[in-house]
Structure 1
Amino acid sequence: MNTQTDIVDKVALALSGALVVIGTAVLGTVEILAGQPYGAAPVTNEAGEIVATPAVDPVIRTGVVLAGLAVLLLWGVYRAAAAEEAPERERRDVTAD
């Protein structure tokens, strides 16, 4: 079994990690710095008018995180398809003392 990482592994893991971190930590920090509201839904007044919206659309944040997870899934499929079959091990009889 090949345990060495090649350039495809490094790029896939870096891209996946970067997308997940951007979608959660970076865009979450942008939301906090932008101020209220922190929720995903727009804030309305009693008349139903929208008075405040989130700084970053929740659909964009979710899409960035899901893109990172999709890259990770595709990398896993690639690794499974590219895996070499492990050579058969010799069977040894082990006796207990």
Structure 2
Amino acid sequence: MNQFDITDKIATAFGAGLLLLGIVGLGLVELVAGKPYSPVPLTNEAGEVIATPAIDPTLRTGLVLLGLLVLFVWGLYRAATPDTGVDRTPTEVTAD
């Protein structure tokens, strides 16, 4: 048995939500905001900043990394806790 308890559901939902927000959600905001799609400010020949991204790339990267960290810690938790729902009593199998 590999049942999810409430801790598993919260951790996976929170981690996946952060990943989706950082990648898809803020990516759509950047797309709707229009050009430039570059993660760095665009400059002209004189060095003046002519366009900047709508969402700071460090914010997006931070959300994605936080989501991955939550899922990694949840994975460590799942590996460290025993699975109590499994019946480990040996059974005899007879050949016909």
| Same-fold call, TM cutoff 0.5 | yes
Are the counterparts in 1 of residues 2 and 83 from structure 2 also a CA contact under 8 Å?
no
Identity %: 49
Tell me which residue corresponds to 1:42. Answer: 41
Inter-partner Cα distance in structure 2 for 1:49 and 1:79 = 51
Alignment of structure 1 residues 11-50 onto 2, 5 Å: 11-50=10-49
After superposition, give the CA deviation of every residue in 1:33-70 in whole Å (9 maximum; x if it has no partner): 11111011100011001111000011110110110000
Task: State the aligned residue count.
Answer: 93
Inter-partner Cα distance in structure 2 for 1:89 and 1:29 = 54
For residue 91 of structure 1, report the CA deviation from its aligned partner. Answer: 8.7
5+ residue gaps, structure 2, are: none
Runs of 4+ in structure 1 off by over 6 angstroms are none
Inter-partner Cα distance in structure 2 for 1:55 and 1:11 = 30
CA RMSD in angstroms, aligned pairs only:
1.9
Inter-partner Cα distance in structure 2 for 1:49 and 1:91 = 79
5+ residue gaps, structure 1, are: none
TM-score normalised by L of structure 1: 0.85
